[in-house]
Amino acid sequence: MRAARVDALNTVPYVTDVPFHEDVAGTHRIKVLYAGLQPTDVLRVRGIYKNPPFPHIVGGEGVGLLPSGQRVYFGHSLPSSGAFCEETIVPVEEVWPIPDTADAGQVIALGLAGIGALIPLEEAHIKPGDRVLILGATGPVGQIGCMVARRLGAGTIVGGARDVARLEAMRAKGLIDEVVQLGQGDDEAALKAHAGEAGYNVVLDPLFGPPAEAAFRVSAEGVRFMSIGTRAARTMTLTLHELRRRSHIGVDTGIRSPEERQAAFDRLLAYAAEGGWHIDTLEFGLEDVPAAWEAQNGSPGAKIIIKVAQNG
Ligand SMILES: NC(=O)c1ccc[n+]([C@@H]2O[C@H](COP(=O)([O-])OP(=O)(O)OC[C@H]3O[C@@H](n4cnc5c(N)ncnc54)[C@H](OP(=O)(O)O)[C@@H]3O)[C@@H](O)[C@H]2O)c1
């Protein structure tokens, strides 16, 4: 079968013929229709996330067909079986039903990215009137974070990112109320200008590093500052004075049980249907995986979807 495989650290996946996976007890065999590309797929190949064995087939989520013909979402593929391949095997507890009419790209966006936004924002216990800052707002986690924050009753939603045109488009659609352009030299001053009198009450942080440090410094006492990613950097520095009376929480949704993640995914599907949510996606064919990889290494402002089946 055709698959996008990566053979060694710091190389780019390429499409090649590989044998079909053997049966493994406790898994479902899935014909892959579409797969999602995640920032962590790139980090694995850089050797800074979960150290997968090489060679391995890229990807950990997608939408496909069970042998019965039922269309499903699947995540957390077995490490070497991947998602960027015509057929994969996935633990049964990671294969979740989806509505017949749901768009595959939207469903995939609500998987790893959606759960990565929903769980931390629920655990931040947003209160009516809270000023919520979504960093990296232009990416899939950020876009969904804005929609979730609205659904959970945030007062004012402030979107922070470097691409001001994308942020303004989000404001025009009502996804955010205020725009903060990052990366202009003084993130702290830019964030403070939209922090209100008391500062941000809740922050969803997929960036870490300098922009998160700046946001922390202009957060309210009692802030619930939820860090879920390191798109900007892997460390940040705070004094104890800055940390006092504030909570910084690092969240890894991947270690939550399949039942908890599936329940979160089902809530997201329901919210998306009720609210008419749309997450920006960017589609590539399987043969174009190197271009998709390059896009993910930049700032695509969208969930990258790989069309795997020719007649999906
Ligand atoms: N902890 C969990 O459980 C969990 C679950 C899901 C995802 N995640 C993580 O969440 C993060 C976001 O995921 P995503 O899919 O939304 O990622 P993404 O699309 O690659 O990046 C999100 C946004 O970050 C900004 N950005 C990218 N590189 C940056 C840099 N060097 N400095 C500052 N800003 C930068 C970009 O906005 P601008 O270019 O407009 O600034 C981009 O739109 C990733 O690190 C991912 O691994 C974690």
In a domain, 96, yes or no: yes
Whether 32 shows a pLDDT value over 80: the answer reads yes
**Which residues sit with their C-beta closer than 6 Å to ligand 1?**
39-40, 112-113, 116, 136, 138-142, 161-163, 166, 206-207, 211, 228-232, 251-254, 299-301
pLDDT of residue 212: 98
Residue nearest to atom 30 of ligand 1 (CA): 232
Same domain for 105 and 117? no
pLDDT of residue 50: 86
Same domain for 98 and 127? no
Between β-strands 156-161 and 178-181, what pairing exists: parallel, antiparallel or unpaired?
A: parallel
Banded model confidence at residue 195, pLDDT cuts 50, 70, 90: very high
Whether 220 shows a pLDDT value over 90: the answer reads yes
Pocket test for ligand 1, best of 42, 226, 231 (most atoms within 8 A of CB): 231
Same domain for 87 and 152? no
Same domain for 118 and 247? yes
Which CATH number do you get for residue 192? 3.40.50.720
Residue nearest to atom 10 of ligand 1 (CA): 229
pLDDT of residue 30: 97
**Structural contact between residues 58 and 82, judged by C-beta atoms closer than 8 angstroms:** yes
Whether 244 shows a pLDDT value over 90: the answer reads yes
Region 265-293: mean pLDDT is 98
**Structural contact between residues 188 and 217, judged by C-beta atoms closer than 8 angstroms:** yes
Banded model confidence at residue 312, pLDDT cuts 50, 70, 90: low
Which CATH number do you get for residue 24? 3.90.180.10
Same domain for 151 and 96? no
Same domain for 233 and 192? yes
In a domain, 88, yes or no: yes
Same domain for 133 and 248? yes
Render pLDDT for 115-151 as a digit per residue (tens, 0 to 9): 999 999 999 999 999 999 999 999 999 999 999 999 9
Pocket test for ligand 1, best of 61, 299, 303, 304 (most atoms within 8 A of CB): 299
Same domain for 196 and 211? yes
Same domain for 39 and 61? yes
* Domain, as residue range, for 150: 113-254
Report the separation in Å between the CA atom of 141 and the middle of ligand 1, taken as the mean of its atom positions.
Answer: 7
Give CA–CA dist 22/86, Å, rounded: 14
- Cα-only R_g, the chain: 19
Spatial CB neighbours of 265, under 8 Å, sequence gap ≥ 6: 73, 96, 110, 111, 114, 115
Give CA–CA dist 217/232, Å, rounded: 17
Give CA–CA dist 74/63, Å, rounded: 6
In a domain, 260, yes or no: no
Give CA–CA dist 122/119, Å, rounded: 5
Q: How far apart are the first and last CA of the chain?
A: 16
